[in-house]
Structure 1
Amino acid sequence: MTSTTSTTVTHKLQKESELRVEVGWDSSIRIQLIDGTAEIFGTELPPQCKLTFTAGLKFAIFTWDGATLEMEGSAEAYVADETPMVSYVNVHAILERRRARARAAAPPSSGTLPSSRVPDVTAQSQGPRVIVVGPSDSGKSSLTRMLLGWAARQGWKPTFVDLDIGQGSITIPGTLAASPIEMPIDPIEGIPLELPLVYFYGHTNPSANTDSYKALVKELARMLDVQFAANPDARAAGMVINTMGWVEGVGFELLLHGIESFNADVILVLGQEKLYSMLRDKFKSNPGMDIVKLHKSGGVVARSSKFRQRMRNVKTREYFYGLSNDLAPHAASISFNDVQVFRIGGGPQAPRSALPIGAEPTADPTRIVPVTISHDLLHSVLAVSYASEPDQLLISNVAGFIYVTEIDVARKRLSYVAPCPGPLPNNLLVAGSLLWVE
């Protein structure tokens, strides 16, 4: 039975049950674990500690052995005793055994290798590469966090790869990113941003430029392979990859591209029999591929396009101002002459004179196109690239983002907000279709 709490309510959970909570946009709640043990997406709740959950959050608190929770504030909440958690933790146990085998197969570290030698990166020393797939609102992000959290609790440091450009679990939406997970993900603050590897796609819809999306997926996978080759522990811990909810037509092609780019060997399919069947047929000749069908949780809530847009705005604001407005972003301005802005895609691929008779020039989706700074960039979120030259922008990761607050064409000044003071790390900026209005 669903209830809306407005004061303090105590919930007693029996073993292997969960409290499903939806916080409204105009409220926040505080939850305290009074007795027993419980977890949120694989992360244990600290006992006798009040945690504040902000507006718009939807989550479930699960207990294996029973727990008593106290909730203050207004939210929709109900207890469910039918969950797929046992099947999820069974998957975790199988992945644990694969990590242990990979660690045992890795050669002992002997310090710096001579230049003539390369690290042993045999298949036996590679931990599981898990990709979680399914349609929108099937619980992919939740399962991803659980698998990462359980692995971190066992002392592993798995790599989280986020290919869901519409959501932005690691940083702002419109990006592809990866980050090592050294401890269970904080249920409130989310994923720590100490060492993320981030690539800027610039759109929240993959259909805006599928070729660019593919190129970034491939480059992110390549960079992680380089890191894994030099880090046996990270290699043995493996990775867990979250994906988009677009799984039909071109979306299915992009999904296959991601599976192949990252050499995934475990596919977890949530919430759709058709997708499971399509993937099983696709990889039936690959004996090293495990495709596992899992039930989605009954607590998964369908999110409207309006809700998704609002959450994207929340994630962007968090980047500049922090989760609780605890950061002080830096306002600055810069001359048009001191920065260069580019877009990925556009422009003719070749002049008509260079094409066969009757052929029409087509847009090159991976072409680097200079952008004339104008009022069109107002309210844009721009990426600060690490590229040394413009032709490297497509395959270069980014240092961070700025938000354009004013364009003074007469004075040729661009005003912006950055998350920290100081000069920009680079003068090469990348624009997409991301806009944000405070």
Structure 2
Amino acid sequence: MASGQAPTLAQPRQFKLDKESELRVEVGPDSPLRARLLSGTAELFGTELPPQNWLPIPPRSKIAIFTWHGATIELEGISEVEYVADETPMVSYVNVHAILDGRRARAKASQGSDLDTSQGPRVIVVGPTDSGKSTLCRMLLSWACKQSWKPTFVDLDIGQGSITLPGCIAATPVEMPIDAVEGIPLEMPLVYFFGHTTPSSHGELYKVLTKELAQTLERQFSGNAESRAAGMVINTMGWVEGLGYELLLHAIDTFKANVVLVLGQEKLCSVLKDVLKSKSNVDVVKLHKSGGVVLRNQKVRQKSRSCKIKEYFYGLANDLSPHSNIINFSDVAIYRIGGGPQAPRSALPIGADPVADPTRVVAVNINRDLLHQVLAVSYAKESDQIISSNVAGFIYVTDIDIQRKKITYLAPCAGELPSKLLIMGSLTWLES
């Protein structure tokens, strides 16, 4: 088959891969496709493929099955693109993993001494949109788990969300190689609801929540030597200029990152090296992005967000049954963070402009504007604890009955909400 040519029929076809090459496949929005390893060894984003087992590839997926020593792969179903590539950056990626592995071993060996030397690598992956950041994070995590480490994955990418819904920053320990289809297993993720898919007008709130997450992780690490030695892998947004760049520096500082991996942008790498040169313990490393990385336009990214929200309520394979519930307006209190009422000019120093407090918690009047909103259920007991509290989960508002003062909502499971304090952002979803 010619390179890059999509098959017209769904008949099985085999690809013989030489060592250090990969099969790249792009799946359409509605096409079922599956893959299996017939011979040799191969991995998908750092996780080994079991021999002879069919692996379902979800719609809209872009995958790369890589082999270190050679393999034969069989595909069945229809894809939009499939081709074998022998130029990949995988050797440089696995070299980074080997260095991180050595640092983890040294951190573990120095346990019982001071906290600095017993701290494993804190790796932050940065680069522009669609440079393969989340895929590299996934590989580094899976390879670490293969060596019996349990690193913590921190996701600061509010645009897409690898751990939970878009609009959140989150962290979770990863204890085993990440399942190629199911993604990251979630035992007890730590989730803070930012509420928007871009930080453009909420930069200060993003910084505050980033700091809350970092402080919580520091507390956990101080009491858990194993997690401390395993360290963190931190995924970031693709916005690397202006405010995006400012938030990137803030994240490097806040999480005390000591390895900065820059994907696919010479200029960003050079600027970061210059800015961070005063920090002797921070290594800035430039890595090539994979040729298999696919650029996504705004529409595709929006669709991806919508699928992520649907998956939260209905499961990856539409195999979950969310519950529809009705509550009274009086049963809940809904808040928005930021954009609170401005101080009147008379209360300000002469010449100062009124500015909305970016972290002010404001009560929201319940009305039809809440329809189709995704709301976070906060663990906070009082409204003044909302910013410093993580969230239990999410609900989706399907109806507002103003006359009867009732809210109908969808929740992933039955039963009462764990809290009556709900947070509203600008995250909406139209159930299709």
User: If the length of structure 2 is used for normalisation, what is the TM-score?
Assistant: 0.97
Q: State the alpha-carbon separation in 1 of the partners of residues 126 and 301 from structure 2.
A: 19
TM-superposed deviation, 1:353: 3.0
* Deviating more after overlay: 310-319 vs 347-356: 347-356
Look up the match of 1:136: 129
Which of 208, 223, 231 lines up with 1:215 in the alignment?
Answer: 208
Give the unaligned 5+ runs of structure 2: none
After TM superposition, list the pairs within 5 Å mapping 1:235-254 onto structure 2.
Answer: 235-254=228-247
Deviation string 1:85-113 (CA, Å, 9 cap, x unpaired) is 00000000000000000001112xxxxxx
Aligned partner of 1:285 in structure 2 is 278
Residue of structure 2 aligned with 1:163, choices 128, 148, 156: 156
- Matched letter for residue 33 of structure 1: L
Match of 2:95 among 78, 90, 113: 90
Matches within 5 A, 1:55-74: 55-74=59-78
3-state SS of the aligned residue for 1:144? helix
- Structure 2 partner of 1:116: none
1:292 aligned counterpart, secondary structure: strand
CA contact (8 A) 1:382 1:431 kept: yes
CA distance in 1, matches of 2:242, 2:190: 29
Residue 42 (structure 2) aligns with: 38
Q: Deviations over 1:367-421 (max 9, x none)?
A: 0011001000000000000011101111210000000000000000000000000
Distance in 2, matches of 1:121 and 1:142, equals 33
Pick the aligned partner of 1:259 from 252, 259, 284: 252
Which letter maps to 1:309?
Answer: Q
3-state SS of 1:161 partner:
strand
Equivalent in the alignment of 1:3: 5
- DSSP 3-state at the match of 1:307: helix
> d(CA) in 1 for partners of 2:83 and 2:199?
35
The aligned counterpart of 1:115 is none
Deviates more, 1:282-291 or 1:401-410: 282-291
Cα shift at 1:349: 4.4
Cα offset for 1:59?
Answer: 1.2
Distance, in Å, in 2 between the alignment partners of 1:126 and 1:54 is 37
SS of structure 2 residue aligned to 1:402 = strand
Question: Aligned equivalents of 1:43 and 1:385: distance in 2?
Answer: 34
The CA distance in 1 between the partners of 2:38 and 2:356, in whole Å, is: 60
Measure the CA separation in 2 of the matches of 1:126 and 1:188: 32
Q: CA deviation at 1:185?
A: 0.6
Q: Counterpart in 2 of 1:182?
A: 175
Distance 1:375 1:349 in 2: 25
> Is residue 2:313 matched to residue 1:320?
yes
Separation of aligned partners in 1, 2:300 and 2:381: 38
8 Å contact from structure 1 (residues 341, 371) kept in 2: yes
1:7 Cα deviation after fit: 1.8
Is it true that 1:354 corresponds to 2:326 in the alignment?
A: no
In structure 1, what is the Cα distance between the partners aligned to 2:114 and 2:125? 24
Q: Distance in 1 between matches of 2:246 and 2:397?
A: 35
- Residue among 172, 177, 189 paired with 1:196: 189
Cα shift at 1:356: 1.3
Deviation of the 1:295 alpha carbon = 0.5
Q: Distance in 1 between the 2:373 and 2:201 partners? A: 17
SS of 2:6's partner is strand
Structure 1: give runs of 5+ residues left out of the alignment.
Answer: 108-119
Aligned to 1:208, what secondary structure does the other structure show?
A: coil
C-alpha root-mean-square deviation of aligned residues, in Å?
0.9
Q: Give the residue type in structure 2 aligned to 1:182.
A: E
Q: Report what 1:419 is aligned to.
A: 412
Deviation, 1:249, is 1.1
Q: SS of 2:211's equivalent? A: helix
The alpha carbon displacement at 1:121 in A equals 5.4
Cα separation, 2, equivalents of 1:290 and 1:278: 13
Cα deviations across residues 163-194 of structure 1 (Å, max 9, x unaligned)? Answer: 00001100110000000000011110101111
The one-letter amino acid of 2:53's match is C
